[in-house]
Amino acid sequence: MKIEVNDRDLLLFLYLQSCKIATTNQINRDFYKKSIEITRRRLKKLWRNNLISVVGKGLDCSRPHAYSLDDKGFEILKRYFPDKFFIQRFKSNSPLHDLLLVDLKHVFSSKKMVARFWMENEIQTHSKFVEDFDLSTFRRLQVDGLVKLVNERNDVMYSPIEFESTAKSQKRYEGKLKKFYEVDAIETVLFISQNLQIQDLVKKVERETFPHETKKFYYVLLEEIKFDSEKITFRNQESLKLEIR
């Protein structure tokens, strides 16, 4: 049964394009904010019309269905927003990692200091990250996310977010950190890790590779980030603290 795509559907397509993938519960929490049954029914209709896709392989079976934007849905989105996208969207290669990023955006966006949170897919595919010279830096660095922070004095700071759910090689981290340290305009990098082993490895790389530089990376464990907490606290290796309230 065909459905007519309405304005709310278009906004849902934008949401799915930005985060690559989201579960039914995440979509209901962040977008519909209604009865979960109403959300399920609308998602099912969109799926039956090939506008969104069900993503299930490789996911934790304890999670509900996850959805991504289908090619047909993206083509409709481009017709309504012809200047918004620079290139075709990316699909999720790491569903569990990307679902956790959706939750991280939800927590960060609840804090007063966070004026904007951009997801990786927005950074890589939206035209503004090509046209704006300052923002294009974050696209080149291929960051997982970007937050615009505004403090009580209305000072603005853009901080890239790196989220590691699985450990990479030391050599790979060396290359990644060098790219951030080469950009003088970036003063802080918010590094979130799934476990302490990943955090310790990146700290070691930062100490050994940049022993004399002011430390740019501010660290926190994923388990330390709570939605209902007053603040998110990051610390660098010089005992400096960055609190996002």
Q: What is the pLDDT of residues 188-202, one digit of tens each?
A: 999 999 999 999 999
Tell whether 123 and 161 lie within a shared domain: yes
Residues 57 and 108 in one domain: no
- Residue 1 placed within a domain: no
Q: Are residues 40 and 151 in the same domain?
A: no
Q: Which residues contact 243 (CB under 8 A, 6 or more apart)?
A: 231, 232, 233, 234
Tell me how many domains the chain contains. Answer: 2
Four-residue CA torsion sign, 181, 182, 185, 190: negative
Average pLDDT over residues 57-68: 62
* 0.75 exceeded by pTM: yes
pLDDT at residue 63 above 70? Answer: no
The answer to whether residue 33 is domain-embedded is: yes
Is residue 89 a part of any domain in this protein? no
Per-residue pLDDT, 229: 86
C-alpha 67/C-alpha 8 separation (Å) is 16
Q: Which of 82, 111, 127 is where one domain is finished?
A: 82
In the predicted model, what is the mean pLDDT of the chain? 91
Do 66 and 117 lie in one domain? The reply is no
How far apart, in whole angstroms, are the C-alpha atoms of residue 235 and residue 111?
18
Same-domain check for residues 136 and 237: yes
Task: Specify if 90 maps to a domain.
Answer: no
Q: How confident is the model at residue 60 (pLDDT cuts 50, 70, 90)?
A: very low
Q: Is residue 2 part of a domain?
A: no
Measured at the alpha carbon of residue 168, what is the angle toward residues 162 and 169, in degrees to the nearest 5? Answer: 130
Question: Is the per-residue pLDDT at 4 higher than 60?
Answer: yes
**Of 8, 138, 135, 9, residue with least CA distance to 69:** 9
Asked whether the CA dihedral 92, 15, 189, 196 is positive or negative, the reply is: negative
Strand, coil or helix: 24: helix
Q: Which of 108, 138, 104 is nearest to 123 (CA)?
A: 138
pLDDT exceeds cutoff 60 at 209: yes
**Could you tell me the residue range of the domain that residue 143 belongs to?**
98-244
How deeply is 86 buried, as exposed, middle or buried, from its count of CB atoms within 10 A (0-12, 13-18, 19+)?
middle
Contact 67, 22 (CB under 8 A): yes
Which of 82, 114, 133 is where one domain is finished? 82
Average pLDDT over residues 167-193: 96
For residue 174, the model assigns a pLDDT of 97
What whole-number distance in Å separates Cα of residue 91 and Cα of residue 69? 9
Q: Is residue 28 part of a domain?
A: yes
Q: What are phi and psi of 89, to 5 degrees?
A: -65, 160
Verify that 116 and 205 share a domain, yes or no. Answer: yes
- Determine the Cα–Cα distance for residues 176 and 243; give it in Å rounded to an integer: 24
Weakest-pLDDT range from 6-20, 82-96, 158-172: 82-96
Averaged pLDDT for residues 98-105? 96
